[in-house]
Amino acid sequence: MTEPWVSADAIAEHLGVTKDSVYSWIATKGMPAHRVGRLWKFQVSEVDAWVRADAADTAGAE
């Protein structure tokens, strides 16, 4: 079975951050996200790997 796509709300809740932080990280930090029409969709495994790779460690430093 394939992994389901989740919304920005769901990924923000998963990470314990605001949805605004998620959108900012997409634009400035290369957070893995996929545009479907006007919506952003995420796979939790991709986002978790991105976080583990320390890609988000300086997200609040700017």
Chain centre to alpha carbon of residue 52: 12
Give the global pTM.
Answer: 0.81
Query: How far is Cα 57 from Cα 29, in angstroms, rounded to an integer?
Result: 10
Q: Which two tokens stand for residue 31?
A: 């957070």
Tens of each residue's pLDDT in the chain, 62 residues:
799 999 999 999 999 999 999 999 999 999 999 999 999 999 999 999 999 987 656 555 44
Query: What's the CA dihedral at 38, 44, 45, 46 to 10 degrees?
Result: 30
Query: How far is Cα 45 from Cα 26, in angstroms, rounded to an integer?
Result: 16
**First-to-last C-alpha distance (Å) of the chain:** 39
Which residue ranges make up each domain of the chain?
8-52
